[in-house]
Amino acid sequence: MRPSRAAAVLLFAYAGLVLWATLGSVPRAGLGNQSPNGVLDWRLWLEPSTWTTGLETELMLNVLMFVPLGALLAFALRGVSFAVPVVMAAGFSLAIELAQIPLADRISDPRDLLANTVGALIGVVGARTIDAAVRLATRVLRPQPVEPAAGRTGELRDAGRTGELTASRSGR
């Protein structure tokens, strides 16, 4: 299947929406472990509270937010390796987390980066599965040309001249 222009347009629109949702100001600051260097602080990645603090709902919303992004990347980049859209989505998520570091009302969190990447991975798997199903259905449902059986062409041609085939099939 060819890359989808419609998916590329939707991808840019959806990416803008994700940027607005993740970098726009919020009425109240979130709770979490904000290190001065955010996701760049390697100790934050090893701190158990990084992985246990926060709402499960927030974690699931991060996963769900990146499922469409992964799917749209996969549709827009058909024909490239499976890893390319996943890595691109992870890079987009990393850019968001880095941009959140200086923002007072945002938290740059390794958990968000991981959840976003998992969501994108789910989206890419879903898109590739849909593409494979469409290819299979197209192959199965496409009418195949019917070739005359070997030797039958001559028999039909001769029968048309003599009328023998018609007589023998009608029981005469």
- The DSSP code sequence of 54-115 is S-HHHHHHHHHHHHHHHHHHHHHTTTS-THHHHHHHHHHHHHHHHHHTT-TT----HHHHHH
In this prediction, residues 141-147 reach a mean pLDDT of 75
- The pLDDT confidence band at residue 12, using thresholds 50, 70 and 90, is very high
- The pLDDT confidence band at residue 116, using thresholds 50, 70 and 90, is very high
pTM of the full structure: 0.72
**Locate tokens 């222009």: which residue?**
5
At 145 the three-state DSSP class reads coil
Q: Please tell me the distance from the alpha carbon of residue 117 to that of residue 94, in angstroms, as a whole number.
A: 9
pLDDT at residue 110, as a whole number: 86
State yes or no: pLDDT of 117 exceeds 60: yes
At 147 the three-state DSSP class reads coil
Among 31-35, 72-76, 117-121, which stretch is predicted with the lowest mean pLDDT? 31-35
Q: Are 109 and 37 in contact, with CB atoms under 8 Å apart?
A: no
At 120 the three-state DSSP class reads helix
